[in-house]
Amino acid sequence: MGWLGDLYRRAAPVQAAARAEALLRLEKAETQRSALRGIRAQYDGASHSRRTQGWRRTGRDANYELQGAAAVLAQTARDMVRNNPYAERAVSAISTDIVGTGITFQVLRNGAPDAELTALAREHLESTACDADGRQNIYGLQLQAARTVVESGAVLARNRARFARDGLPVPFQIQMLEPDYLDATRNGVFDAGMYVSGIQFDRIGNREAYWLFPQHPGSVALRSPTSNPIPARDIVHVFRADRPGQQHGASWFAPVILPMQDFRDYQDAQLLRQKVASSWAVFRIGSPESLDDAADEAERADFIEPGLIEDLPYGTDIKFANPPGVEGYAEFSKISVRTFATGMNLPYDIFGDLEGVNYSSGRMGRIQYNRQLDSWTWNMLIPQFCEPIGAWFFRAAQLMGRDTTGCTMLWTPPARPMLDLSTEGPALRDLVRSGLMDPETAIRERGEDPDTVLAAWARFAAKADALGLVFDCDPRKVTQVGNAMQPTAGTQPKKD
């Protein structure tokens, strides 16, 4: 603007600075638009056009995106599980396939089994004594945790210390909590750290405390809506972290909530169409004398139902509606259910439709599904739920005076069912005999504890030897093909 610009800056410096800043923003925006036009030529997905105007692009982190949305997703998923059979099937299938009959455990001391502590852990964890509600053992709590994570996106477990007078094998119990207990409105930065959805962090990002409500916010017995801090070491927080830095989880139904609900509405509409299509009726036209029959007029139906035979007055004009058809229902249902299976990382046959599944396709689908289950088990449920509970056990055992130095807890997931035992069984045996797999690993893959299996074999072998019995299953005395083992050179029987 030349001398006018200089005069304006001297007379109104604040306004001039604001104008300069606005011009700078406009210049920056134009630069960005020019850059986007250049990007468009390289990446269609990064362009701005009518084709991409429905995309919700955001630079927010995972926690900001979940703020307010996690609770709504969880509430919606619970409604679907209550009322939608496909949602109930999905959550039941994933949770039971992850946990099965239970992820078993064994206490090791410096890498070797500790029979005494293992027995104590089993006495406590494999009974209802470990449950603060007194209803489930550790395996039932694992199933409840897995189910809640799938449905609500996360689950909390709280360590409840108990007194010796409570008579428990180990003085602690586990209280399972839905993620609703977490005060998600507590967010922001304070002098010593920050809050993220009710989780308190110190300055270097370590979890210090969880701010929990004393009762479920939706409970009829809610006494106080004020949250209180619980030390992080007494809380287990299980969720699937899909993005780095994510501190809370979203319901696994998030990608399929709308398709599932739309399909349910479609099913209801098709059911109504079927009812209408099946409501054929017969109408008899009476004689002229029936016109004055008041009794028949009073009893005449005002609705149509299947199998209805109705007498009508003479001269009544009857017009039949054309019932709608129900074509295309089966094809659309298959496409919809496949969408649910894809969004939930499930094989299609989980939902009960085995029409297009054969042995080969079923096996290929199960191989991929088992890999997914292993990932959920080893990367989520065991490190986030099982191992912290093991640490709680050792901490409580120390309070009892037990020595837990060098102790760890080894967890063994349940065995995956073999699709073809006659093929997979010999293959597993050959891997062990060829040295490509050690026997302990093979036993653990079957969901068993190697020491328990060997102890059972020792008891069986001692009984068989005492009775002078030899079975084909005894590798000490019978070869793989069923022949008797020949004594080695150093074990030849002596002659009289």
Which pLDDT tens digits describe the chain residue by residue (496 residues)?
A: 555 566 556 666 666 677 777 777 777 777 776 666 665 556 777 777 777 777 888 888 899 899 889 999 999 999 999 999 999 999 999 999 999 999 999 999 998 999 999 999 999 999 999 999 999 999 999 999 999 999 999 999 999 999 989 999 999 999 999 999 999 999 999 888 999 999 999 999 999 999 999 999 988 877 778 899 999 999 999 999 999 999 999 999 999 999 998 888 888 888 877 777 666 556 556 556 555 554 455 455 555 666 666 666 766 666 655 655 667 777 888 888 888 988 999 988 888 777 777 767 777 778 888 899 999 999 999 999 999 999 999 999 999 999 999 999 999 998 887 777 777 788 888 888 888 888 888 888 877 888 888 888 888 888 888 888 888 777 777 776 667 776 655 555 555 4
Q: Rounded to a whole number, what is the largest CA-CA distance in the chain?
A: 130
The Cα 243–Cα 58 span in angstroms is 14
Could you tell me where the DSSP H helices lie in 278-328? 294-299
The Cα 209–Cα 231 span in angstroms is 4
Instruction: Of 171, 312, 146, give the one whose Cα is nearest residue 239.
Output: 146
| pLDDT score of 288 | 61
Exposed e or buried b per residue across 424-446, where buried means at least 16 C-beta atoms within 10 angstroms of its C-beta:
eeeebeeeeeeeeeeeeeebbee
What long-range pairs does 9-18 form, CB within 8 A, spacing at least 24?
Answer: none
Which residues, listed in sequence order, are joined to residue 194 by a DSSP beta bridge?
189, 201
| pLDDT score of 293 | 52
Region at 482 (left for phi over 0; alpha for psi -120 to 50; beta for the rest): left
What long-range pairs does 332-341 form, CB within 8 A, spacing at least 24?
Answer: 332/266, 333/263, 333/267, 336/259, 336/263, 336/266, 337/86, 339/256, 339/259, 340/86, 340/90, 340/256, 340/259, 340/260, 340/263
Which residues, listed in sequence order, are joined to residue 99 by a DSSP beta bridge?
none
| pLDDT score of 407 | 96
| pLDDT score of 391 | 96
State the DSSP code for 494: P
| pLDDT score of 309 | 62
What size, in residues, is the chain?
496
Q: Which two structure tokens, joined as six digits, stand for 148?
A: 């809640």
Residue written as token pair 């040295």: 435
| pLDDT score of 411 | 95
Sequence-distant (6+) residues with CB within 8 A of 359 are 419, 420
Instruction: Of 401, 344, 420, 357, give the one whose Cα is nearest residue 90.
Output: 344
Rounded alpha-carbon distances, angstroms, from residue 384 to 64, 358, 390, 490: 23, 37, 11, 53
Residue written as token pair 């259910």: 337
Q: Which two structure tokens, joined as six digits, stand for 44?
A: 């269609």
